[in-house]
Amino acid sequence: MLRIGTWRSAGSLGMVVCGWHDGDPGPLETGIKLIYGMGGPMPDFPGLRVGALMATSAEEISEALFQGIDVVATAPDCCPSAPVVAAGMWHYGWTGSHSGALAGATVAGLVMAAQPGPCAVEIHRDGRSSLDGDVRAETVRARLAGTVPLESVRLSQEAPSRLLITPC
């Protein structure tokens, strides 16, 4: 499972990506990566590898993560779902042939970006995700109508503050 959380700070949407292997053979690997939406100056991150360029797409973000960059800055016009999709591409190796997983991650990323405060999402290998925060399925459907073909995912309220997103 891949866990992603956000925090809000002046001039930025910060996103922390924590990755680990889930059931794969081999040693357990953990890591923390930062995907930093630029809206102001980049803070100092001592000891971390900071990307030299601002990423504009999920592909560019995931490429930087594959290259071992610890902090990836995103351009202001970057799609709000790109960091979540990129994290899945980096962690699970998703490509264009993983359309269900990419659809689930896209919706999870759009929902995360629309949250007014901190929230967290758990993304599974198949693109299924659970979002924890102040989120309601009806509100998400209304926000995403016309943006995302909602027949590609199923939204269900698991608990008052937990939304399940399942690719169809």
> For residue range 90-110, what is the model confidence (pLDDT) as tens digits?
989 999 999 989 988 998 988
Angstrom distance (rounded) from CA 101 to CA 113: 18
CA angle at residue 127 from 5 to 21, to 5 degrees? 70
Q: What is the pLDDT of residue 51?
A: 87
Region 7-17: mean pLDDT is 57
- pLDDT of 57 higher than 60: yes
The predicted-structure confidence for 122-165, as pLDDT tens digits, reads as follows 899 999 999 887 788 888 888 777 777 767 788 899 998 899 99
Contact 13, 118 (CB under 8 A): no
Stated as kind and residue range, the H or E segment containing 19 is strand 12-20
Neighbours of 106 (CB within 10 A): 26
pTM score of the predicted model: 0.82
- pLDDT of 80 higher than 60: yes
Q: What is the pLDDT of residue 21?
A: 47
User: With the C-alpha atoms ordered 43, 48, 51, 54, is the resulting torsion angle positive or negative?
Assistant: negative
As a whole-number percent, the residues of the chain with pLDDT over 70 amount to: 80
Region 108-116: mean pLDDT is 83
Q: From residue 22, give the alpha-carbon distance in Å to each of 1, 28, 116, 137, 160.
A: 6, 8, 30, 27, 27
- pLDDT of 14 higher than 90: no
**Band of residue 48 on the pLDDT scale cut at 50, 70, 90:** confident
Angstrom distance (rounded) from CA 70 to CA 91: 14
Region 29-43: mean pLDDT is 67
Which of 58-67, 93-102, 111-120 has the least mean pLDDT?
111-120
One-letter amino acid for residue 105 of the chain = A
Q: From residue 119, give the alpha-carbon distance in Å to each of 7, 8, 42, 146, 164.
A: 7, 10, 22, 24, 14
Q: What is the pLDDT of residue 98?
A: 94
